[in-house]
Amino acid sequence: MITDFKSKLQSINPEFVQFDTLKILQVNMGNLCNQRCIHCHVQASPKGTKIMSRDVMNKIVNFLRKRHGLTLDITGGCPEMNPHFRFFLESTHPFVSRLMVRTNLTILMEKGMEWISGWYKTQAVNRVLTRKRR
């Protein structure tokens, strides 16, 4: 017998299926990454082909414009490798109360990525380190 996800959560704790209010929006920018970790749950790698388009980003920006004050939690893959990453940061930043980027940090040492550390620092971005398992 297959139990559906909602029923399973409800059996563990009924409060798990009660949606109160949206506080955090997590956005996955794709499976492109400069690493190739064997434990990666999105099978990200330098060959990743699932890359969020600017069109989708614009829809998220419009959503955040109407819902001021959310926390935006950006993940991937390696979000910094999305070709529209800077556009997405700069477009969403004015509308969110907190901006988090899940980074593997090694990307900050790659050519062309020098601007990112400074941007994170001046815009008070929370970086969440994801690290390679041994």
Positions touching ligand SF4 (CB under 6 A) are 33, 35-37, 40, 44, 76-78, 104, 130, 132
Residue 52 vs 77, nearer CB to ligand SF4:
77
Residue 121 vs 132, nearer CB to ligand SF4:
132
- Find the shortest distance in angstroms from Cβ 3 to ligand SF4: 29
CA–CA distance, 81 with 1 (Å, rounded to integer): 42
Q: Which of 121, 99, 132 is nearest to 33 (CA)?
A: 132
- Find the shortest distance in angstroms from Cβ 50 to ligand SF4: 12
CA angle 30, 32, 128 (to 5 degrees): 75
CA–CA distance, 70 with 73 (Å, rounded to integer): 9
Count helices and strands in the chain by DSSP H and E runs: 4, 4
- Find the shortest distance in angstroms from Cβ 6 to ligand SF4: 28
Residue 72 vs 78, nearer CB to ligand SF4:
78
